[in-house]
């Protein structure tokens, strides 16, 4: 894929769709953490690593959401960077959920995901 020029802009309608998708995914990520944290079970040390991954991934998603709200996010280079960062944040959140699920399946953690 060719690199965009310094003056290249994207259509605001296209950016708005990406902003909506990022907001929805960020909302799901925050809802998952809220549901998981409100579980009445005690935490164990092994539950800290998935939570760190979740918090880091959500932090990246929030930063990207703020970047997409900025006026200069219509510049193609800045939009492409935000898109890549959002996918990284999404991957980190997915890794945190996956690790929490593995901990739950093998009975390592005390914060059950499966009920």
In tens, the pLDDT along 5-59 reads: 667 999 999 899 999 999 999 999 999 999 888 887 777 888 899 999 999 999 9
Residue 104 in contact with residue 112, Cβ under 8 Å?
A: yes
How many CA within 13 A on the CB side of residue 7? 0
Give the whole-angstrom CA distance, residue 109 versus residue 25. 26
Residue 56 in contact with residue 29, Cβ under 8 Å?
A: no
How many CA within 13 A on the CB side of residue 114? 10
Break the chain into its structural domains and give their ranges.
Answer: 12-105
Tell me the whole-structure pTM to 2 decimals.
0.86
Give the whole-angstrom CA distance, residue 110 versus residue 40. 10
| Token pair belonging to 46 | 């092994």
Return the higher-pLDDT residue of 104 and 3: 104
Q: Give the single-character DSSP code of 114.
A: -
């Amino acid at each position: 894929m060719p690199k965009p020029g310094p003056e290249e802009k994207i259509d605001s309608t296209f950016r708005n769709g990406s902003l909506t998708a990022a907001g929805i995914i960020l909302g799901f990520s925050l809802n998952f953490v809220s549901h998981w944290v409100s579980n009445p079970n005690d935490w164990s040390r092994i539950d800290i690593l998935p939570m760190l991954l979740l918090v880091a991934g959500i932090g990246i998603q929030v930063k990207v959401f703020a970047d997409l709200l900025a006026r200069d996010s219509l510049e193609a280079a800045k939009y492409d960077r935000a898109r890549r960062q959002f996918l990284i944040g999404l991957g980190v959140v997915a890794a945190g959920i996956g690790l929490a699920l593995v901990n739950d399946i093998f009975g390592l953690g005390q914060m059950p995901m499966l009920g």
